[in-house]
Copies of this chain bind each other. A is one copy, B any other.
Amino acid sequence: METLSENKCFGGTQGVYKHSSEATKTDMTFGLFLPAEAADGPVPVLWYLSGLTCTHENAMVKAGAQGWAAEQGIALVFPDTSPRGAAVADDPGYDLGQGAGFYVNATQDPWAPHFQMWDYVAEELPRLITRNFAVDEERQSITGHSMGGHGALTMAMGLKGRFKSVSAFAPIANPTAGDWGRKQLNAYLGPDEAAWARHDATLMMAQNGLDIPLLVDQGTADDFIDLLMPEALFAAAAQARVDGHLRLQKGYDHSYFFVSSFMEDHIGFHAEALYA
């Protein structure tokens, strides 16, 4: 593992690291914020999964998360959104291929050799981080934005017992039913929709509910709201009688100005679960 940068930040350290990934068979870069408390021993961790077109860097510089994480003594991990490089398949669209891994393990060519983002984020990166940094694997929570909100929700439901809480900012809530999802699930997983269901937060919620606290924020002025379909997830969460706060934030759009506006609430929400 190579250290690309380390900056002092809110009394802790914002680092960027590169390593050779077994899951994606590429180099992968990630951001990690460690609060000052990590000097004294393992701290709880909040995973932040990013959206389409993002790298490990967007949220790290635009979400305003480190200050609140420092206040709560929580580490933040910012993974990349896909494998990258000249040897990695890509697509001219911004919403498929590099920068658009959708947090699945691709089974279809040309994607299958490198696009193994579920395994990378769910298995390999947690192992790497808990072995190399003062991060407590027993106290993990997860959040994300847009495609990353989809990733956070599906991992929280798919990896039962892993996370203490889950939140999402404007998640792709029902990808099997919309254009942000059908195209990608078809490309990565093939045309058999049975394989898609475990990557759809609304379907997973309807089938198995969720046994950890949930917070979702969705801006009402989000230009992509018809693709995100919060109404499907809200109905499924209510029907499943989960512990959930589902918020429509009037006038907010899909940008990091929206994400940063509610970051304090999300980190406070996760802190409550991580320190319970």
On A, residues with C-beta under 8 Å from B are 213, 218, 220-221, 225, 230-232, 234-239, 241-251
Residues of B within 8 A of A248 (CB): 237-238, 241-246
10 nearest CB pairs, A to B: A243-B250, A235-B235, A231-B238, A220-B241, A234-B234, A231-B239, A244-B248, A230-B238, A246-B246, A234-B238
Instruction: Give the residue name and chain of the B residue nearest to A211 (CB).
Output: B250
A242 touches B250 (CB 8 A): yes
A239 to B244, CA, bound (A): 18
Instruction: Give the residue name and chain of the B residue nearest to A238 (CB).
Output: B231
**Chain A at the B interface: mostly helix, strand, loop or mixed?**
mixed
Q: How many identical subunits does the complex contain?
A: 2
Given contacts A225-B241, A241-B225, is CB(A234)–CB(B220) below 8 Å?
Answer: no
Chain B's nearest CB lies how many Å from the CB of A164? 14
A247 touches B246 (CB 8 A): yes
A251 to B181, CA, bound (A): 34
A239 to B241, CA, bound (A): 20
14 further A-B contacts with Cβ under 8 Å, apart from A220-B242, A244-B247, A246-B247, are A213-B250, A220-B241, A220-B243, A231-B234, A231-B236, A231-B239, A232-B235, A234-B235, A235-B235, A242-B248, A243-B251, A244-B248, A245-B247, A246-B248
Residues of B within 8 A of A230 (CB): 238
Residue in B243, B246, B250 whose CB lies within 8 Å of A234: B246
